[in-house]
Amino acid sequence: MTGNKSAVIIGAGIGGIATAIYLAKKGYEVSVFEKNSTPGGRCGQLIHDGHRFDLGATMLIMPDIYREVFKSLGISLFENTEIKPLKNLYKIYFDNNDILTFSPDKEIMKAQHEKIEPGSYARSQKYVTDGYEIFQIGMNKLIGRNFDNIFQFANFRNVGMLIKLKTYISNWKYVKKFFKDSHLRMAYTFQNIYVGQSPFDSPALFSMVPAAELTEGSFFPKGGMYVIVEKLLSAAHSSGVRFHYNKPVKQIRVTGKKADSIILEDGSEINADIIVANADLPYVYRKLLPDKAKSRRLDRKKYSCSAICFHWGLDKVYPQLGHHSVFLSDGFRKGLDRIFIDKSIGDNPSFYVHAPVRTDPSAAPVNQDTLSFIVGAGHLDKKKKQDWDDLKKKTRLAVIKRIKQAGLDDIEEHIKFEISYTPESWESACNITRGSVFGSLAHNLLQMGYFRPHNQHSRYKNLYFVGGSTHPGNGIPNVLLSAKLTAERILGN
Ligand SMILES: Cc1cc2nc3c(=O)[nH]c(=O)nc-3n(C[C@H](O)[C@H](O)[C@H](O)COP(=O)(O)OP(=O)(O)OC[C@H]3O[C@@H](n4cnc5c(N)ncnc54)[C@H](O)[C@@H]3O)c2cc1C
């Protein structure tokens, strides 16, 4: 025994590993218990037959947040690691065979905009400038800080801030003020799905996402997004953090106002001064803690959508796809309603394709391709009839039909193998409530800032939370900030 304080962390996702480093650097003895055999959670990686897949996150956006958090962890992210800005953010395919190349290069954007809707380029610039201002205000006042009481969030001065952050208008209504063309409206709002939401039902605050992408760019690390996990892991090991894999936690034991220990599935008990849950917060309340009333309250909250994913190893390269491609269907609204209202998936769904070989040939054997498809889907809902095997089959057919129309006619013949995920597999892979992989709790105003479940338990004061389901929310930049804020809460900074 060293006499140092001890901390256990439940889960080796980005949030858990980053928090572990902060605590270890301040002298805590930190042990991380992860249910799976590998770290990374929703930023995991799979290598099969020479094909490398990023199973969750594929885009490194908002690089300044990475820089800030990594610097505070003492890690130099961009040094000795090849992290390239992408020339183009994504290729957007529309049903009429038009393609819009979304790019930080203003000349590329101007030419395309003026062709689609004369005069729209200048308006797009305003959309981006305003959106980036929202991002900066949001970072300072809403996302990048801890709230200690409701008055810090809901006060008279913040009413002005919430108006500036465009929280009073839906993202779709807002974009309509800028563009008449429906394809442009879709191109500037589909990014809402990154936080598991529909632009028809989420605040225009989220116009900050395309604005941040177009202003700061989108990056990709050689070796895939898992490089982020590896960098964090290496720093954690150097700081003395101990990792225990294949160790699912089944209970957090509490007495009075204290969380005493964690109990593993194998029955062993580990005591600690501090417990940090990186596992999905509603899952922790439901499965690991005794407080059922709070769990029922969480159950009544809004949840983000889920996704069906297909990962294919192919024996042929399809160079026409961009590193990131997005297929937006003309039934955009209908498709979103199928996801968010019916908790299902549309017949002609919009979807995203990751084709990393374009910028990182190491993602596949020579002359072969590695493609991942992410199709937004409803989350698990016991009140709906959901046959995920059937939906997966239908979705696969719809995706293949659509990419064949885009000129990849022989693609089916070149799929060597497929690995797929449904909302059910997401739920079991990472214990994500309802398979709501983008959060899991939705990011509506009443579930953000002070209103999002807090990163410290209200009764067991030595129990903390970190990750996408606590403050500030989903996406690696937010989860990194979450680790910083949770560590500040623990360390009293
Ligand atoms: C398909 C998809 C695409 C995405 N794309 C992007 C993107 O391009 N860019 C981006 O920035 N973000 C993206 N995201 C979001 C990003 O991946 C997540 O926000 C982030 O990885 C979540 O990290 P976390 O630490 O909060 O949680 P997790 O990664 O879920 O980590 C929690 C860990 O806890 C473990 N755990 C759970 N229960 C237990 C238990 N009982 N005992 C022990 N361990 C347990 C889990 O196995 C997991 O490893 C995407 C997500 C998905 C699903």
**Which residues, in sequence order, are CB contacts of 308 under 8 Å at separation 6+?**
345, 374, 375, 377, 388, 391, 392, 395, 420, 421, 422, 423
Ligand 1 touching residue 306 (CB < 6 A)? no
Measured in Å, residue 43 CA sits from the centre of ligand 1 at: 6
Measured in Å, residue 194 CA sits from the centre of ligand 1 at: 13
Residue nearest (by alpha carbon) to ligand 1 atom 24:
467
Beta bridge mates, 54: 45
Ligand 1 touching residue 33 (CB < 6 A)? yes
The structure's pTM equals 0.96
For residue 77, CA distances in Å to 14, 154, 225, 275 come to 14, 36, 12, 27
With tokens 């930190």, the residue in question is 30
Estimate the crossing angle of helix 106-116 against helix 120-138, to 10 degrees.
130
Measured in Å, residue 352 CA sits from the centre of ligand 1 at: 18
Ligand 1 touching residue 468 (CB < 6 A)? yes
Ligand 1: which atom is nearest the Cα of residue 469?
A: 26
Ligand 1 touching residue 228 (CB < 6 A)? no
CA–CA separation, 398 and 377 (whole Å): 14
Ligand 1 touching residue 15 (CB < 6 A)? yes
Ligand 1 touching residue 374 (CB < 6 A)? yes
Ligand 1 touching residue 305 (CB < 6 A)? no
The predicted pLDDT at position 493 comes to 64
Compute the half-sphere exposure of residue 208: CA atoms within 13 Å on the CB side of its CA. 19
**Which residues, in sequence order, are CB contacts of 82 under 8 Å at separation 6+?**
221, 222, 223
Does residue 472 have a cis bond before it (omega within 30 degrees)? yes
Beta bridge mates, 310: 373, 420
In order along its 493 residues, the chain shows pLDDT tens digits of 457 899 999 999 999 999 999 999 999 999 999 999 999 999 999 999 999 999 999 999 999 999 999 999 999 888 889 998 999 999 999 999 999 999 999 999 999 999 999 999 999 999 999 999 999 988 887 888 888 777 777 776 677 777 777 777 999 999 999 999 999 999 999 999 988 999 999 899 999 999 999 999 999 999 999 999 999 999 999 999 999 999 999 999 999 999 999 999 999 999 999 999 999 999 999 999 998 999 999 999 999 999 999 999 999 999 999 999 999 999 999 999 999 999 999 999 999 999 999 999 999 999 999 999 999 999 999 999 999 999 999 999 999 999 999 999 999 999 999 999 999 999 999 999 999 999 889 888 888 888 899 999 999 999 999 999 999 999 999 999 999 999 999 998 6
Q: In terms of Cα–Cα distance, which of 431, 142, 440 is closest to 302?
A: 440
Ligand 1: which atom is nearest the Cα of residue 42?
A: 29
Ligand 1 touching residue 365 (CB < 6 A)? no
Residue nearest (by alpha carbon) to ligand 1 atom 13:
57
Contact of 165 with 301, CB cutoff 8 Å: no
In the numeric block, which tokens belong to residue 408? 């990849």
With tokens 């001065």, the residue in question is 157
Residue nearest (by alpha carbon) to ligand 1 atom 35:
11
Ligand 1 touching residue 41 (CB < 6 A)? yes
CA–CA separation, 371 and 127 (whole Å): 32
Strands 6-10 and 29-33: parallel
Mutational test site, ligand 1, from 42, 310, 371, max ligand atoms within 8 Å of CB:
42
> What is the SS3 string spanning 410-472?
CHHHHEEEEEEECHHHHHHHHCCHHHCCCCCECCCHHHCHHHCCCCECCCCCCEEECCCCCCC
Beta strands in 269-424, from DSSP E residues, in sequence order:
269-271, 274-277, 306-314, 324-328, 351-354, 369-377, 415-421
DSSP state string for 174-240 = HHHTT-SSHHHHHHTTGGGGGGT--GGGSBGGGGHHHHHHHHH-EEEETT-THHHHHHHHHHHHHTT
Residue nearest (by alpha carbon) to ligand 1 atom 34:
11
* DSSP code of residue 168: T
The predicted pLDDT at position 303 comes to 96
The predicted pLDDT at position 146 comes to 85
Ligand 1: which atom is nearest the Cα of residue 287?
A: 41
Query: What angle is formed at CA 447 by the lines to CA 200 and CA 333, rounded to 5 degrees?
Result: 15
Contact of 146 with 485, CB cutoff 8 Å: yes
What's the distance, CA 220 to chain centroid?
A: 15
Mutational test site, ligand 1, from 43, 304, 422, 424, max ligand atoms within 8 Å of CB:
43
Measured in Å, residue 69 CA sits from the centre of ligand 1 at: 18
CA–CA separation, 348 and 359 (whole Å): 29
Measured in Å, residue 55 CA sits from the centre of ligand 1 at: 10
CA–CA separation, 320 and 305 (whole Å): 29
